[in-house]
Amino acid sequence: MRIFHIATAADWAEAQRSGAYTTSTIGVTLEQEGYLHASREDQWEAVRDRYYSGATEPLVLLEIDTDLLDVPWVEELPAPAATETFPHIYGPLSPDAVVAVTPVRPT
């Protein structure tokens, strides 16, 4: 399965250097959140519009092959009142699991 994550270009570049991506969402680490936020293909644009509209640095869309992940991932509700599930990655993302990187613009 393919899932998606929006990252700053700087965070993605650092992950390629270090071998692990650990930003849950803009300004929030994996350690702080407990997982990395992700989305399905039909969700990532709405996530960008809602959470990244004020981004001032370049963004990229990471396309992740879940078969290549070396940490668990789960499709779940992000909050008790939520009605739509989202994929969450429970651990650092290895750059080897990212099969495509596409520049995206904030809205």
What pLDDT shows up at residue 59? 97
Residue 61 has pLDDT above 80, yes or no: yes
What pLDDT shows up at residue 81? 84
Rounded-to-integer distance, Cα 31 and Cα 93, Å: 13
Distance of CA 56 to the CA centre of its chain: 18
Q: In the β-sheet with 86-89, what is the strand arrangement from edge to edge?
A: 36-37, 86-89, 73-76
Residue 106 has pLDDT above 80, yes or no: no
Across 13-22, 51-60, 94-103, least confident range: 51-60
Task: Report the percentage of the chain scoring pLDDT > 90.
Answer: 85
> pLDDT (tens digit, 9 = 90+) per residue, 80-102?
887 899 999 999 999 999 999 99
Which residue ranges make up each domain of the chain? Answer: 2-104
What pLDDT shows up at residue 78? 80
Which letter, b or e, does each residue of 46-72 get, where b requires 16 or more Cβ atoms within 10 Å of its Cβ? ebbeeebeebeeebbbbbbeeeebeee
Across 40-49, 72-81, 97-106, least confident range: 72-81
For the domain made up of 2-104, give the CATH fold. ADP-ribosylation fold (3.20.170)
- Is pTM beyond 0.75? Reply is yes
